[in-house]
A and B are shown apart, each in its own frame.
Chain A
Amino acid sequence: MSKQTSGPWRWAEALLERLLPEGTRETIVGDLREEFVEGIEPRRGRLWAQFWYMRQVASFILWFIREGEGMGKVLMALSAVVLACACWLAVMETILRHEGYAGRIAEALGIGAICAATILVKMLHAGLVVERWLWLGAGTLIVLGATAFLHNERAAHFEGFVMVISLLLLTQGELMLATMGRRNNGQNSVV
């Protein structure tokens, strides 16, 4: 009877189920549960087994990133870079507190939130409807990118960093529109 209550944390198993494409979900989650209950937990204890399971979940995240369809992989990488830039910008604005910093922090956090949502939605196969909501985020990034690019072009002091960031935002927004919320956009090409 005790075996029926044993097993990986439910949230970890649910996360793995969301990460995997439909065709492989059942067999892989079943294999790992079996290994957890019959192999790892009896030998190494429950806590170690949970740690082992989380490591396996992490390995599937790497699988997703490596095996995903081309444009999807570019979008993931770009989202991660822009997310890192947005976080860095928010931290620097918080430290330096130049005039109007609150608005710029809000803008950076907004961009970061769109990037984080893009990564999560792609990784967790949230579905076409959720992906289409992110078209709003894509539009926001394109507007922000274009505005920053044009302002920088007309400014007295041209900033190379602003140009790079604005081009990144434009590219990410366009990639999001091109790859998200469309059928056969590579969600199942992970396998």
Chain B
Amino acid sequence: MADLLGTFEQSVLLAIFGLGAEAYGRAVLNRVQETLERDVAAGAVYATLERLEARGLVRSRLEVGTTVRGGRARRYYLLAAEGERALGDTRRALTAMWNNVQLPAQEGR
């Protein structure tokens, strides 16, 4: 099993998966903020995207930019097979870890 993904890496990969063909930097940033329900610094998201791409968990392609971007290109991200596998491994590990665990404060809820 590969190294387990951190919470932030999982949220970025799940954002890419959820956005499908629309997964470019800004959309991923907004989706991660919605998921985590807090403001997230752009630098953190882009650093994670770069790291995930370097590890082969995501792939990217460039597309022509719009006027509002001053003509700057958009980079779209796609979940790679390796990324899907890493997400699955992490989910299985977390599920196994939490299986049959009941924290005292949660009992009776």
Interface residues of A (CB under 8 A from B): 3-4, 7, 24, 26-35, 37-39, 55-56, 58-63, 66-67, 191
- In the complex, which residues of chain B have a beta carbon less than 8 angstroms from the beta carbon of A67? 47, 50-51
Q: How far is the CA of A7 from the CA of B46 in the complex (A)?
A: 21
Tell me if B2 is interfacial: C-beta within 8 Å of chain A.
no
Q: How many residues of B contact A (CB 8 A)?
A: 25
- In the complex, which residues of chain B have a beta carbon less than 8 angstroms from the beta carbon of A66? 47
Q: Between A and B, how many residue pairs show CB distances below 8 Å?
A: 76
- In the complex, which residues of chain A have a beta carbon less than 8 angstroms from the beta carbon of B51? 67
Q: How far is the CA of A9 from the CA of B30 in the complex (A)?
A: 22
Tell me if B94 is interfacial: C-beta within 8 Å of chain A.
no
- In the complex, which residues of chain A have a beta carbon less than 8 angstroms from the beta carbon of B65? 26, 30
Tell me if B59 is interfacial: C-beta within 8 Å of chain A.
no
Q: Are B25 and A27 in contact (CB under 8 A)?
A: yes
The minimal Cβ–Cβ distance linking B65 to chain A, given in whole angstroms, is: 5
- In the complex, which residues of chain B have a beta carbon less than 8 angstroms from the beta carbon of A63? 43-44, 46-47
Q: How far is the CA of A191 from the CA of B25 in the complex (A)?
A: 15
- In the complex, which residues of chain A have a beta carbon less than 8 angstroms from the beta carbon of B6? none
